[in-house]
């Protein structure tokens, strides 16, 4: 489990998510279950959310079932480590590592694929 945040505001989506001033204790109680102990009092009427970290294998979207996990764990990808590293650092530290990320993205990112190259093709596919 990651950071715990509170939704502050009365109407969605005008409010905002703010990190809890005092992050709770997270206790692994086994069986994939966790107990969360808030240190700053009861939840009350607050809307509290948390970041959840999970392992998602390559090209896998259904990782919540046993069959999905088995298929996802068997999948692989050829994503270069440099691309992943700069992308991760850029997400973890907003405003930093932008130049390095852009360079890696130019080298390893998805290339545009132009399906229609000629005016004749456009008429055929329209």
Six-digit token string for 50: 């948390």
User: Two tokens at 56?
Assistant: 């998602």
60 dihedral zone (left: phi>0; alpha: psi -120 to 50; beta)? beta
Q: So where are the chain's domains? A: 4-74
| 28 close to 15: Cβ distance less than 8 angstroms | no
- CA separation for the pair 51, 46 (Å, rounded): 17
pLDDT digits (tens, 9 = 90+) for 39-92: 887 888 888 888 776 554 455 556 667 777 777 667 666 678 888 889 889 988
CB 8 within 8 A of CB 46: no
- Beta strands 47-50 and 25-30 are unpaired
pTM for the predicted model, two decimal places? 0.42
Kind and range of the H or E run holding 101: helix 98-108
The residue among 97 and 77 whose pLDDT is bigger is 97
- What integer pLDDT is reported at residue 60 of this predicted model? 54
């Amino acid at each position: 489990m990651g950071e715990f945040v509170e939704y502050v505001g009365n109407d969605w989506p005008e409010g905002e998510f703010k990190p809890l001033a005092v992050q709770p204790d997270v206790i692994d109680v086994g069986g994939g279950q966790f107990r969360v102990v808030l240190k700053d009092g009861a939840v009350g009427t607050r809307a509290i959310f948390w970041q959840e970290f999970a392992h998602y294998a390559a090209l896998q979207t259904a990782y919540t079932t046993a069959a999905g996990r088995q298929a996802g764990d068997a999948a692989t990808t050829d994503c270069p480590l440099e691309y992943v590293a700069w992308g991760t650092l850029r997400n973890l530290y907003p405003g930093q590592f932008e130049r390095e990320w852009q360079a890696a993205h130019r080298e390893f990112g998805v290339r545009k694929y132009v399906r229609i190259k000629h005016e004749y093709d456009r008429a055929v596919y329209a």
